[in-house]
Amino acid sequence: MLSLYFRDQGYAVKEVGVGGRDGGVDLVIIDKRGEKTAVQAKCYAEHNKVQVMTVRELVAAKRNHDCILSLLITTSDLTADARREAEQFKVDYWHGGLIENKLRAWGKWQPGKGNKKPKKATPTGSTVKTITCACGAPMVARKNKEGKAFWGCSTYPVCRKTKAM
């Protein structure tokens, strides 16, 4: 999912950590200027915080992938030690709330709904019309004494406007 996300943000993405030992890096993302960022993603439950070791692995591994920058992404958060380490070694990090906001803004992801089918579009060609009265209220179908249908203001008797069907 992060591969798709970064591609949509205009990065070229290499999935280096797929299928087996990732050596501390999951993705290498390359921006339009050719600058490479090593990305490590940890999908952890909220109580399971990213440890300082993960930050160290990423710092060590980014060189193997020819990256200057590094980014740690987690659904959880970093321990205080891990944050300090990240700040010291200029590892950018996105944690829980931040990554959720970014993915929401992206619009291709919905929280807690894995592979939800896209919503069905509203049917087109529907014959249901909404008629609005001059007063701004919707008009509703009514019948007069002779049984002839007409549009009458829904606020009747406040507004007594009518319209022929």
Positions in the binding site for Zn ion (CB under 5 A): 133, 135, 137, 153, 159, 161
State in angstroms the smallest separation of the CB of 161 from Zn ion: 5
- Tell me whether residue 112 or residue 157 sits nearer to Zn ion (CB atom): 157
- Per-residue buried b or exposed e for 68-90, using 16+ beta carbons within 10 Å of the residue's own CB: eebbbbbbbbbbeebbebbeeee
Closest CA to 139 of 125, 156, 153, 160: 153
Q: Where are the alpha helices (DSSP H) in 20-79?
A: 52-64
- Tell me whether residue 4 or residue 135 sits nearer to Zn ion (CB atom): 135
93 neighbors 78 (Cβ within 8 angstroms): yes
State in angstroms the smallest separation of the CB of 130 from Zn ion: 13
State in angstroms the smallest separation of the CB of 155 from Zn ion: 5
- Tell me whether residue 53 or residue 149 sits nearer to Zn ion (CB atom): 149
